[in-house]
Amino acid sequence: MGKNSLAVAMAFAGAVIGAGFATGREVVDFFTRFGRGGLGGVLLATLLFTWVGVVILQVTLSHPVYSYADLLRVLLPWKWLVFLMDQVFMVTLLAGVGVMTAAGATVLGGWGPGYPLGCLGFLALSALLLRTGGKGFLRANCWLVPGMALLIAALCLVQIAVPALGMAARGPFSSALLYVSFNTAIAGVALSTLKEQLDRKTALLGGGLGGLMVGLLLLLIYGATRGLAAGEIPLLSLAQVWLGKWQWLYALVLLAAVLTTALANIHGLASRMADGLGYWPTVFGTSVLGFAIAQGGFARLVRVLYPLLGLGNVVLLAGLCYYSFRNLKITGGNRWF
């Protein structure tokens, strides 16, 4: 496996892990709450993530796709639907800023600052780091994902082996569909910018490995959070139990993870609006709105806002299905991407 395949896989996994897995909150709300039935949702989500990664990368490789807007034009058959989904993506990115700000402020709150001040500090740091552009973000993500994944896996494996804490949708499969559809938007924003890194082998291996990485971590978090006491950030609770005075190590990794995701959301939205409102006015406006959204609290935002956004992004999953089945028809069943 080449370096490009690993880099693409890390970019894919990092986009999802930073937004979904690093806190453990989403896994609890979308899967763990269904008990044993949540395992079926985990397996379905793993298959869907792998398929989504491979198809998006193949579309990016095979067509003039350099951003998520180009991706939408290829996948969706009607201009009005492309316009509608473009708006949904922008709302999704803005909502992601609010959710990550809430998560960052919750972590910072453990070090002294109050929640509103933590939100302001997190957003100020995000705006400051955007001065380095996309290269700095990608470099940080490549270094962050392996260490973050290893620490999350270690915490989960210890909790599964020796449970230490107790725990006071309509179903796991529909919940899995909603969860993957939301993260499809995040993955689409990230993967549609990687055209220069791709060939056919890289697209296949990078998408497949990235999806499997996400699925494995999802399975570990699901197993660890069954029987875990509810909290704003479940994996931070595990770190408090198993790392003791060294729990700040996980808190630091968690803060870095949500920060890189917030940067991706702010930068993606600002780049999309650069020709209209301008880049920096959009960064400022997004930060202000993100602060307002974050006041809803992290757990409440994840539980209420993400499923609503997932319903809208089901259209994107339908577009990927349409693209895949259309290719099957054209190639006589020989290729689905």
Whether the CA torsion 106, 108, 111, 116 is positive or negative: it is negative
CATH H-level superfamily of 3-325 = Amino acid/polyamine transporter I (1.20.1740.10)
pLDDT number for residue 123:
92
Amino acid at 288: V
Q: Are 303 and 105 spatial neighbours (Cβ–Cβ below 8 Å)? A: no
Q: What would the pLDDT profile of 219-229 be if each residue is shown by its tens digit?
A: 999 998 887 76
pLDDT number for residue 39:
93
Domain boundaries of the chain, sorted by first residue = 3-325
- Name the stretches of the chain with pLDDT < 70: 1-3, 18-20, 133-136, 138, 162-170, 229-232, 274-275, 304-312, 329-337
Radius of gyration (C-alpha) of the chain in whole angstroms: 19
Q: Directed axis angle between helix 298-330 and helix 38-62, to 10°?
A: 60
CA angle 49, 83, 58 (to 5 degrees): 35
Contacts of 230 (CB under 8 A, 6+ apart): 28, 167, 168
Question: How many whole angstroms separate alpha carbon 23 and alpha carbon 19?
Answer: 9
pLDDT number for residue 44:
95
Return the number of other C-beta atoms located less than 10 Å from residue 117's C-beta.
13
> Of 121, 223, 222, which is closest to residue 175 (Cα–Cα)?
222
Q: What stretches of the chain show up as alpha helix (H) in DSSP?
A: 3-16, 25-30, 38-62, 68-75, 79-109, 115-129, 133-161, 172-191, 200-225, 234-242, 248-272, 279-294, 298-330
Contacts of 307 (CB under 8 A, 6+ apart): 169, 175, 178
pLDDT number for residue 181:
81
